[in-house]
Amino acid sequence: MQQIFNFLIRNKNSILFLFLFAVSIFLTVQNHSFHKSRFISSANWVTGGVYSWSNGINTYLNLEEYNERLIAENNQLRNIISNMNDSISISKQLDSTSFEGDYIFRPSRVINNNFAKIDNYLTLNRGENSGIQKEFGVITSQGIVGIVDRVNNKYSRVISILNSRSRINAQLSSTNHFGSLVWNGEDPNIVQLIDVPRQAPVQKGDTIITGGRSLIFPEGLPIGSIKDFTLDQTQSYYTINIKLFNDMTNIGYVYVIENINKDEIKELQEPDEQ
């Protein structure tokens, strides 16, 4: 202990200088918007690099599981292709680098994933340079993951479905009854579907999918299956616990979805100016 005190006394001037220097940098960043934005941008760049490095190790350790998922997904795609009748159309699509349709899918890799908090996020190794923007959906072959809410040149942040701010339109696969998908912050494998009217034929084991009222996700993407359900105090709406198809504690590779018609639809839905 005495050696520590002696060290502090010998180097008190240097320590004081470093402390005052750190305080001055903090005050400069806090009181100047330009410096603050540059600092945040640099911090995001450094954080993204650290996430990429640590995730590279984790990816290597989980290569076998990721390969199994890719094999299963490829098998599903082969089954779909084998059931299509127009072989000419198939050949044309397979030789094309882009598919005509309302949505564009971009592959990406998760380099950071939170799931133990009340508000959880994921970080992807793709950003504006790869065409990713805010309000793009994120999925895997097993189900939905979340929505992009922050982007820089090389990375993007995703609001996980395990987040108190997340509200996604979802419905029963067997009917058009829909509600809002939320999370109560308890089990990372269970989310809740609320505001489903009591007239809906809810049964355990039924599949829940994305609804058609979202400008972010296509209709029909898998979410999970009904674990159990209750009626609220007014006996008017169900609260349904959904067992997710995705293992949200182990997300590796994802697809980022762009709805190419979103801006046109949103513009049409805006109220007329008086």
pLDDT digits 0-9 by tens, 111-142? 999 999 999 999 999 999 999 999 999 998 88
- Give the closest residue to 214 by CA, choosing from 252, 166, 156: 166
* Torsion of Cα atoms, 58 then 59 then 65 then 67, to 10°: -170
Strand partners, 181: 168, 193
pLDDT at 93: 37
pLDDT at 57: 59
pLDDT at 114: 92
CA 188 to chain centre: 14
Neighbours of 112 (CB within 10 A): 20
Structural tokens at position 59: 């990816």
C-alpha–C-alpha distance, residues 27 and 36, integer Å: 10
Cβ contact 210:223 at 8 Å: yes
pLDDT at 248: 94
Helix (H) or strand (E) holding 242: strand 237-244
pLDDT at 101: 58
Cβ contact 130:108 at 8 Å: yes
What does the pLDDT profile of the chain (274 residues) look like in tens digits?
667 767 667 777 777 777 777 777 766 656 655 544 554 555 555 555 555 555 555 555 556 666 666 656 665 564 555 454 444 443 333 333 334 458 888 888 999 999 999 999 999 999 999 999 999 999 988 899 999 999 999 999 999 999 999 999 999 998 989 999 999 999 999 999 999 999 999 999 999 999 888 889 988 999 999 999 999 877 799 999 999 999 999 998 899 999 998 888 888 877 765 5
Structural tokens at position 71: 């094999």
